[in-house]
Structure formats: structure tokens, C-alpha cells
Amino acid sequence: MPAKILSVDGTEAEVDFGGAIRKANLSMVDAKVGEYVIIHAGFAIQKVDEDEARETLKLWSEFLEQSELA
């Protein structure tokens, strides 16, 4: 799931996973505040296009809504 970078302090970032705020290490990617990244095991491993990230977050939100109704 993509995460939006909220702040950066050295190689550590605060990221938003659609409302869940976590810390992540950015040492493997060149990313800035406002950009989206894929996080694995606490590390940003890939930058993601904003449109793609928003679409993925939308799909996850719809999936979770359907799961709650089931």
C-alpha cells in the first residue's frame, strides 16, 4: 500500500498510510515530502506516481468498506 511522505528528518520520514501515521526509512529511495512510496519492513523501496497511489488507496478503502458490510 502506498504511503504519502509527511515529513523528512535525514533518512527517516513520517508517512501516512491513508490515515495511519508511521515512521519509515528513506535511505533506499530519493523521495521528498508530498511524494508517495511503497514501504516494506520499514523501508521505502520504491516511489509511486501520485495518481497510481491515489487509485490504490481508493481501491483499498472500497475493499475495507465492503469487508465491514459482510
Q: pLDDT tens for the chain, 70 residues: list them.
A: 899 999 999 999 999 988 899 999 999 999 999 999 999 999 999 999 999 999 988 898 888 888 887 6
Task: Find the CATH number of the domain harbouring 15.
Answer: 2.30.30.140
Calculate the CA 49 to chain-centre distance.
11
pLDDT at 65: 86
Q: What are the beta bridge partners of residue 10?
A: none
Question: Total domain count for the chain?
Answer: 1
CB 26 within 8 A of CB 10: no
Backbone angles phi, psi at 23, to 5 degrees: -95, 150
Q: What pTM does this model have?
A: 0.85
Q: Containing domain of residue 19, as a range?
A: 2-69
